[in-house]
Amino acid sequence: MQLKGKTAVVTGSNSGIGLGVARELARAGATVILNSFSDRPEDHELAASIGKEFGVQARYIQADMSNGEACRALIEKSGGCDILVNNAGIQHVAGIDEFPVDKWDAILAINLSSAFHTTAAALPGMKAKGWGRVINVASAHGLTASPFKSAYVAAKHGVVGLTKVTALEVAGQGITANAICPGYVLTPLVEAQIPDQMKVHNMDRDTVIREVMLTRQPSRQFATVEQIGGTAVFLSSDAAAQITGTTISVDGGWTAL
């Protein structure tokens, strides 16, 4: 239980990558704070089930990551934040000249500005303890680009830049800041797209994954939420104490091209 005694706040964590990260941090012994914009009984039940499964404390706190004050309040309500995982994100696909302004604003707010606000709120406590981990879930699109994803690519590049600045500002204070850059990850959202892609392309599951969905991922394999979570656990460990201000790609070779 290498993270016993540490509290981890994971934004956007009631499903997908965020949930996978929260589970792996709990497995490593951390107290975990789950978060999303909803406030349903099942959100709180999910946190309780993680706590019971791994024998740790786990809570769910609702907060709208598009709202800066709510982002900062999340950290305050957590009662401490040793490990901050900024994962919340949304996506919209359209050409620049047709990109809805409200979608641009929402993506920048949730994917980038939320990380600024939560980090700003968490750093004073980390500095006081002389220990902290800021882990930003960026993307392969934080290092490269694709057409029709202007807001997402801009936000994720911004997350990588914010990560570097954070690392420099807290260097030597026992705090690290790094970005995980996943490629395509097999989440429930992606899993739900596979049957439709099979029908459109008249291919079996393995072929449509390899030849259609993962054309930019040389391994032709999805990363898993457990692998992203395991990377977060490593970055939170003592072994990663001198890893800061950098990106770790979990993308099957995408950004090596």
Residues marked active site are found at 152
Give one DSSP letter per residue of the chain, joined into a string.
Answer: -TTTT-EEEESS-SSHHHHHHHHHHHHTT-EEEEEES---HHHHHHHHHHHHHHTS-EEEEE--TT-HHHHHHHHHHHT--SEEEE-------B-GGG--HHHHHHHHIIIIIHHHHHHHHHHHHHHHHT-EEEEEE--GGGTS--TTBHHHHHHHHHHHHHHHHHHHHHTTTTEEEEEEEE-SB--HHHHTTHHHHHHHHT--HHHHIIIIITTT-TT-S-B-HHHHHHHHHHHHSGGGTT--S-EEEESTTGGG-
CA distance 91 to 172: 36
